[in-house]
Amino acid sequence: MDFLIKIEDMKRIYRQSILEENGIYRRENDAEHSWHICMYALVLREYAPKGTDIFKCIRMLLIHDLVEIYAGDTYLYDEKANSDKRQREEQAAEKLYSVLGEQGDELKALWYEFDEGKTLEAQFANACDRLQPIILNYRSKGEKWKENNIHVSQVIEKGKWKTRNIDERVRQFVFALLDECVEKGYLLS
């Protein structure tokens, strides 16, 4: 119960991603993000590599940002904040998952698997995690990208969109959407 009570704090961890709500922009929280990318995995499962366990992907997506309760959200394009992100998040994972004993070890292992991105499930889950903020930036007319002077090359590089193990139709969608974002001035060329 302590763990379940503690993870409610995800609702108070605000990400850099912007949501539009009745014409007003606001920051997305981690709980909203986690739910939304789980839906991405569920709905886009036909684009996952053959043999991918979608239930395992969803489990990863539900827990991958829980460490931010202690480590905070790190903006993908903030090089300084990313320099010690791994260390902060590993310490947070130890603190958070230790509450659950053996079950915590299982969840922590899933978190590490997601972070390492080597299995089919981790690769697909990571693709969903990188796709969703692109769509949010598109819907907010590039609000955060413009604020931080983000170039399309940064989005491609950080998302590993050229090398990511994904269905080619998803890759084509991402590149077409990024081209449109540049054309509309949401993202620097």
* 37 — pLDDT class (breaks 50, 70, 90): very high
So what's the pLDDT on residue 20? 84
Return the CATH number at 110. Answer: 1.10.3210.10
Q: pLDDT value at position 21?
A: 84
User: Could you tell me the residue range of the domain that residue 98 belongs to?
Assistant: 2-183
Mean pLDDT computed over 121-142: 96
Classify residue 165: in a domain, yes or no: yes
**Residue 28: what pLDDT?**
96
Mean pLDDT of 12-34: 93
58 band by pLDDT with thresholds 50, 70 and 90: very high
Number of domains in the chain: 1
- What are the pLDDT digits (tens) for 61-108? 999 999 999 999 999 999 999 999 999 999 999 999 999 999 999 999
Residue 189 in any domain: the answer is: no
Is 35 within the bounds of a domain?
Answer: yes
Determine, yes or no, domain membership for 188. no
Outline where 26-167 has alpha helix (H): 30-43, 54-63, 68-71, 79-82, 85-97, 102-116, 120-139, 143-147, 152-159
- Mean pLDDT rounded to a whole number for the chain: 96
Which are the contacts of 86, defined by CB distance < 8 A and separation ≥ 6? Answer: 115
Distance CA 148, CA 133 (A): 14
pLDDT at 23 over 90: no
